């Protein structure tokens, strides 16, 4: 199961995008992180990197 992003907490800093080994995260049109569920391997790299705690497994 892919990670979950709480868009109310996400500030759009892009830290998760930078650490994702499968390029499954991007900043969407609204400036929040978006996960591509078809390529996310649920490794958790983004969870530990998010300074706002907006990403969970």
Q: What CATH number did the domain enclosing 28 receive?
A: 3.30.70.20
Tally of domains within the chain = 1
Average pLDDT over residues 1-26: 96
Average pLDDT over residues 11-19: 97
What pLDDT shows up at residue 15? 98
Domain membership of residue 44 (yes or no) is yes
Domain membership of residue 25 (yes or no) is yes
Q: What is the pTM of this model?
A: 0.90
| Closest to 4 (Cα-Cα) out of 25, 23, 21 | 25
Domain membership of residue 57 (yes or no) is no
What pLDDT shows up at residue 1? 79
Q: Is the pLDDT of residue 21 over 90?
A: yes
Residue pair 56/8 in contact (Cβ under 8 Å)? The answer is no
CB atoms within 10 A of CB 40: 17
Residue pair 44/25 in contact (Cβ under 8 Å)? The answer is no
Q: Is the pLDDT of residue 2 over 90?
A: no
């Amino acid at each position: 199961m892919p990670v979950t992003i709480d868009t109310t907490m996400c500030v759009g800093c892009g830290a998760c995008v930078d650490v994702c080994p499968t390029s499954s995260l991007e900043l969407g049109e609204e400036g929040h992180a978006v996960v591509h569920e078809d390529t996310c391997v649920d490794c958790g790299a983004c969870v530990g990197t998010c300074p706002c705690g907006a990403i969970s497994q």
